[in-house]
Structure 1
């Protein structure tokens, strides 16, 4: 999984609590990340329809729908794509002990386990929303820090 997923999730959580659009430069500064790097992640989120940008003096990014309707999996797939983390290359059909294709009637046991793990991982991300993450941030972060962050974002 790319680092962009982490930045994308953090941005979505911030946008969830922001009353106004937040400029990309401000999100980058808040997270101490390169503005050009973060812009790429925001573009991917925008292309997936999770955020949208508005231009102008009060422009910036905002979520396209309620945070309770955006899952962690939505963000992961927007940034890294929907392909599975593991791709079987049929190693068992290679080398001096290669198994002929016609004898490979069932999926490779390694591929089968990795596919099962990928499905479980995706399902666990599918049930956690940006709203869930934001609620946890609210309960685990000192109130004065949250208040300062919100004031800084809206300044």
Structure 2
């Protein structure tokens, strides 16, 4: 990355952090709306809209930069695609491990106790467990290998 681009990105990072700090301060220090059954900060909507904007910018850049990288370095794209295939296999394994059996919840009358919702929740949880254990194991293996070098 060029030095000029790096400088601009650092400035942009500080501006974004500063704006976020301002919005958070407004949220916590801006007072509450009157006549509300619960404590409701005045600037809740501003903070939520800022969080949405940051999310969409990050999502867009997360899609844009890999496409640029794919175009500029096609050979390096194979590693990225291999990572996506491994992640897909982990999610498939988690889905196969998940269970959609209805839960016996006395007094619950909601609509979320259905096989599709339960299987989705299980898939997300198992995926998180697998990735978490994989992360811890990779850290341990890396540290052990570093001791022997």
* TM-score, L = length of structure 1: 0.27
Computing the radius of gyration from Cα coordinates, the structure with the larger value is 2
Which is helix-richer, 1 or 2?
2
* TM-score, L = length of structure 2: 0.28
Structure of higher RCO (CA pairs closer than 8 Å, 6+ residues apart): 1
